[in-house]
C-alpha cells in the first residue's frame, strides 16, 4: 500500500505516519511545509526507515503537488495539512483560508488529475481521505451530540475554513466522482502535541510552577480523544469507509476545561510531588471570542459500521500523556524556548 500523508510533521499527522510506517508497514510519503506546527523531531522513530519518505512542500503549490502525486503513485491520500489553532485564526485568518481552503482545493485537483488517468483497477481502489474537525458543527447546548447529519454552523475562522474545505472535498466526490471520504473528529491529545494547546501547555506550565491559564470560567466542554485512537480510526475509515460519506470520530470523554486542568494537576502531583498542590497555579483569563460552549461526538456510525473503538479513556490517556512529557523533555524543551506561551487570539491585541 502506497500512502501520501499531508501534514505528517504535525501532531496528528505524525501519529498517523508512525502508525502506517511502523505498525502497518505501508510505503509512506509525508508532504509537509514545516510551518511553526510541523516538527521533524516528531518523526524520529520513522526517520531512515526504507518505507518512509519526506517531501518539504506546500499544499498550495499545485505544481509540487502534481509532481509528488504522479511520481509517488499513491493508492491513498490522507489529507491532514492545515492551520489548526483557533486562537491564531482569530488574529491571522488569511493563512487559514490559504492553506485550509485553497490548499485543499489544489490537492483535490492534483489528486483528480492523477486518479483520472489510472487504469480501471487502481482507479476504483484509490481513496482520498479529507481529515476534519467536529468544530464545523458549531456549539451544542447542555444536551445532545453531533451526528453526521448535524448542520454545519462554524463559529471561528478556523472552523469556517475547515467547513469550506469539507464542502470542497464532498463536491469533488459528487461532481467528479473522486473517491473521497471525510472524517470529523473531536479534540485530540497525546504525545508530540505543540505546547500552545490546552493540555500540553498545562502540563509544561504546571511542571515549571508557572500560571495555568483557563479561558473564561473553564466551563467549556470538549470531547477528548487520545491521538493514537484517532490515527487508527483514520486508517479504518480510508480502508473501509463508504465513498461520499462522513464519519464522526470521538472518544465519549466529555470534560469541562477546568476539570481537564485539575486532573492534569492531580496526575502531576502524584508523579512528581511539588511543595504545594499545582491546582493553586490556575488563573482565569479573558475568554476566547466566539468560544463554543460544548462539543460532543456521536461516533456510533464509525463504531457500528466500521468496528472502531477507542482504546483509551480520558483517565488512562491523560496519564500516558503526562508520563510522555515527563520522559521526553528533549522534544518539548526547544519548542518552549522558541514559543513563549504568550496569549493569542484576543481582539484588542489584533486591533492594536
Ligand X SMILES: NC(=O)c1ccc[n+]([C@@H]2O[C@H](COP(=O)([O-])OP(=O)(O)OC[C@H]3O[C@@H](n4cnc5c(N)ncnc54)[C@H](O)[C@@H]3O)[C@@H](O)[C@H]2O)c1
Closest distance to ligand X from the beta carbon of 121 (Å) = 30
- What is the length of the chain? 352
In the complex with ligand X, the residue whose CB is nearer, 132 or 220, is 132
Does residue 239 carry a catalytic annotation? no
Rounded to the nearest whole angstrom, what is the least distance from the CB of residue 269 to ligand X in the complex? 26
* Of positions 20, 68, 81, 163, contacts ligand X by CB under 6 A: 81
Cell digits for 58? 506546500
Task: With CA atoms as reference, report the closest residue to 144 among 254, 229, 256, 226.
Answer: 254
Query: What DSSP designation does 6 have?
Result: E
Handedness of CA 286, 289, 294, 298 (dihedral sign): negative
C-alpha cell at 339: 514559543
Host H or E run for residue 54: strand 52-56
CB of 98 to ligand X, least distance (A): 7
235 is catalytic: no
Residue 96, interface with ligand X (CB under 6 A)? no
CB 321 → ligand X: shortest distance, Å?
13
| Options 18, 19, 162, 301; binder of ligand X; rule CB under 6 A | 162
Question: Torsion-angle region of residue 124: left (phi > 0), alpha (psi -120 to 50) or beta?
Answer: alpha
Pick 127 or 278: Cβ nearer ligand X = 127
Question: Could you give the string, one character per residue 105-144, with x where binding to ligand X holds by CB under 6 A and - elsewhere?
Answer: --------------------------xxx-----------
CB-count exposure of residue 94 (10 Å: 0-12, 13-18, 19+)? exposed
Binding marks (x or -) toward ligand X, 4..43, rule CB under 6 A? --xx-xxxxx------------------xxxx-xx-----
C-alpha cell at 194: 505543540
Q: How far is the CB of 188 from ligand X (least distance, A)?
A: 4
Q: How far is the CB of 122 from ligand X (least distance, A)?
A: 25
Grid cell for residue 124: 476504483
DSSP string, 140-183: --SS--B-TTSPP---SHHHHHHHHHHHHHHHHHHHH---EEEE
Give the residue with the Cβ less far from ligand X, 66 or 269: 66
Q: Which 218-277 positions form the footprint of ligand X (CB under 6 A)? A: none
Measured CA to CA, the distance from residue 199 to residue 229 in angstroms comes to 17
Name the residue among 50, 45, 11 with its Cα closest to residue 28. 50
Give phi and psi for 76, each to the nearest 5.
-130, 150
- Whichever of 84 and 150 has its CB closer to ligand X, that residue is 84
Q: Which is nearer to ligand X, 194 or 247 (CB)?
A: 194
Direct distance between the N- and C-terminal alpha carbons of the chain, in angstroms, rounded to an integer: 51
- Single out the catalytic residue among 32, 135, 228, 292: 135
In the bound state with ligand X, the residue whose beta carbon lies nearer, of 58 and 257, is 58
Q: Which one among 78, 185, 237, 258 touches ligand X, defined by CB under 6 A?
A: 185
From 27, 32, 87, 134, active-site residue: 134
Nearer to ligand X, 83 or 303 (CB): 83
* Contact present, 81 and 59 (Cβ < 8 Å): yes
Cα gap 56→50, rounded to integer Å: 18
- Mark whether 266 is an active-site residue: no
Closest approach of ligand X to the CB of residue 247, in Å: 12
Q: Is 59 in the site for ligand X (CB under 6 A)?
A: yes
Hey, which residues are catalytic here?
Answer: 134-135, 158
The residues binding ligand X (CB under 6 A) are: 6-7, 9-13, 32-35, 37-38, 58-60, 80-84, 99, 103, 131-133, 162, 185, 187-188, 194
Amino acid at each position: 500500500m502506497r500512502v501520501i500523508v499531508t501534514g505528517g510533521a504535525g501532531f496528528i499527522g505524525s501519529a498517523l505516519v508512525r502508525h502506517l510506517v511502523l505498525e502497518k508497514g505501508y510505503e509512506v510519503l509525508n508532504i509537509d511545509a514545516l510551518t511553526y506546527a510541523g516538527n521533524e523531531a516528531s518523526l524520529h522513530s520513522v526517520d531512515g526507515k526504507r518505507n518512509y519518505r519526506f517531501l518539504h512542500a506546500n499544499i498550495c503549490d499545485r505544481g509540487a503537488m502534481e509532481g509528488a502525486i504522479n511520481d509517488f503513485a499513491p493508492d491513498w491520500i490522507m489529507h491532514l495539512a492545515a492551520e489548526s489553532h483557533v486562537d491564531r485564526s482569530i488574529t491571522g485568518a488569511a493563512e487559514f483560508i490559504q492553506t485550509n481552503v485553497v490548499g485543499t482545493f489544489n490537492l483535490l485537483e492534483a489528486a483528480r488529475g492523477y486518479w483520472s488517468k489510472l487504469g480501471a483497477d487502481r482507479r476504483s481502489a484509490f481513496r482520498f481521505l479529507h481529515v476534519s474537525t467536529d468544530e464545523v458543527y458549531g456549539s451544542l447546548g447542555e444536551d445532545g451530540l453531533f451526528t453526521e447529519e448535524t448542520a454545519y454552523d462554524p463559529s471561528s475562522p478556523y472552523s469556517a475554513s475547515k467547513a469550506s474545505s469539507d464542502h470542497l472535498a464532498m463536491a469533488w466526490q459528487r461532481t467528479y466522482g473522486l473517491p473521497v471520504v471525510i472524517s470529523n473528529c473531536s479534540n485530540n491529545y497525546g504525545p508530540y502535541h505543540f505546547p500552545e494547546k490546552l493540555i500540553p501547555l498545562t502540563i509544561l506550565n504546571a511542571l515549571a510552577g508557572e500560571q495555568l491559564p483557563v479561558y473564561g470560567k473553564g466551563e467549556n466542554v470538549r470531547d477528548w480523544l487520545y491521538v493514537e485512537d484517532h490515527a487508527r480510526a483514520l486508517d479504518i475509515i480510508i480502508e473501509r469507509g463508504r465513498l461520499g460519506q462522513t464519519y464522526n470520530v470521538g472518544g465519549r470523554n466529555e470534560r469541562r476545561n477546568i476539570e481537564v486542568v485539575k486532573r492534569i494537576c492531580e496526575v502531576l502531583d502524584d508523579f512528581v510531588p511539588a511543595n504545594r498542590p499545582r491546582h493553586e497555579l490556575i488563573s482565569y483569563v479573558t475568554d476566547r471570542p466566539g468560544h463554543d460552549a460544548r462539543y460532543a461526538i456521536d461516533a456510533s456510525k464509525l463504531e457500528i459500521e466500521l468496528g472502531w473503538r477507542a482504546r483509551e479513556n480520558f483517565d488512562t490517556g491523560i496519564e500516558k500523556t503526562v508520563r510522555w512529557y515527563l520522559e521526553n523533555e528533549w522534544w518539548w524543551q526547544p519548542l518552549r524556548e522558541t514559543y513563549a506561551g504568550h496569549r493569542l487570539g484576543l481582539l484588542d491585541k489584533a486591533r492594536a
